[in-house]
A = this chain, B = another copy of it.
Amino acid sequence: MSEFSIIEKYFEPLSKTGALDDDAAVLDVPQGQQLVVTSDTSNRGDHFVEELSPSDAARKCLRSNLSDLAAMGADPFVYQLNLALPKEIDEQWLAGFAGGLEADQKEFGILLSGGDTTAMSAGALSVSITALGLVPPGEAVPRGGAQPGDLVVVTGPLGDACLDRLRLPYPRTAIAPLIRRYAKASVDISDGLPADLGHICAVSGLAAQIEFAKIPFSKKVQEALRDGKTTPQDILTWGEDYELALAVAPEDFESFKAEAVKQGVEPVAIGDFTEGNQEVQVLDESGKPLSFQKTGWQHF
């Protein structure tokens, strides 16, 4: 198939009528909104698990971008799709890939605005998505807004990606308006909680203490921890959770939680930001800090 027939058959239907006809897409940014821009690249053999279906591979790429937008408190707007495909990619793969995008476009309210489809040699496959979101002026949530005394809050259970690499993350798009209303700082957990919380601490100039016992885990993760099939360190440094870590003022937490629960999300307070030297401590049940030696932790 030529580039043009691939676009016409699989990607034109995912875009607004006519958006792919020109050299570039022309977009009206709704008046009085700021633009939020993020990118994520997934390569076969790397972020991609080989066994991921084409549909799930597409959804995972799009969702990692949506998670970044949600972290900023931004509502989804449009995305650009850049594909570098090996020549052996067939129509079945393309149909599955486009089908996954179509399903998630409906679920999360975003449209394709354009992109580029190119051929790669030697079996390599790379998917880059740049997503644009919208926020009311000044309401985007940075990493640097945490203050001493703020609660460390996570938006859902962590660690499942460590046990099930085929699992699709679920971006917290539904509560983006609540993130911008209640969160003072925010980050999406893609490299592991201590590493990503470390980003907030670094930019905010703070430390954080969290209690391992307060971190929400699924039944599966709880059992694996109890049976010694995994360790707290493995669970917390795997990354790819795509839940959000937030700084929320203590007096706002109950209102935030009540409104989030209505959207099917249950935020959990797991610790505090404090004055200190940009260090993240995860305390065990006896109040002793766990030690981390893995790269997830080293990452930042």
Contacts and interface: CB of A to CB of B under 8 A. Distances in A.
A43 B84 contact: yes
Contact of A78 (B37, B81, B118): B37
A116 B35 CA distance: 18
A24 B69 CA distance: 7
Contacts of A40: 82, 116
Contacts of A233: none
Given A4-B300, A35-B29, A36-B27, A121 B120 contact: no
A119 B98 CA distance: 24
Contact of A82 (B21, B46, B130, B300): B130
Interface stretch (A136-144, A155-163, A249-257, A278-286): A136-144
A299 B21 contact: no
A195 to B, nearest CB: 10
A230 interface: no
B39 A72 contact: no
Contacts of A25: 36-38
A47 to B, nearest CB: 7
Interface in A94-146: 113-124, 126, 128, 130, 132-133, 135, 137, 140, 142-144
Given A83-B41, A84-B84, A300-B4, A26 B124 contact: no
Interface string A215-235: 000000000000000000000
Interface in A54-84: 68-69, 71-72, 74, 78, 80-84
B124 A72 contact: no
Nearest to A24: B38
A135 B28 CA distance: 10
A23 interface: yes
Given A43-B120, A130-B130, A299-B4, A27 B34 contact: yes
Given A27-B36, A126-B126, 19 more contacts: A4-B299, A21-B142, A23-B71, A23-B72, A23-B188, A24-B74, A26-B36, A26-B135, A27-B35, A28-B35, A28-B137, A39-B115, A41-B117, A41-B128, A42-B118, A46-B120, A82-B82, A116-B128, A128-B128
Interface of A: 2-4, 21-29, 31, 34-43, 45-47, 68-69, 71-72, 74, 78, 80-84, 113-124, 126, 128, 130, 132-133, 135, 137, 140, 142-144, 186-188, 203, 299-300
23 contacts: A3-B299, A21-B142, A22-B72, A22-B140, A22-B144, A23-B143, A24-B69, A24-B72, A25-B38, A26-B35, A26-B135, A26-B140, A35-B35, A40-B116, A41-B118, A42-B118, A43-B118, A43-B126, A46-B120, A120-B126, A122-B122, A126-B126, A128-B128
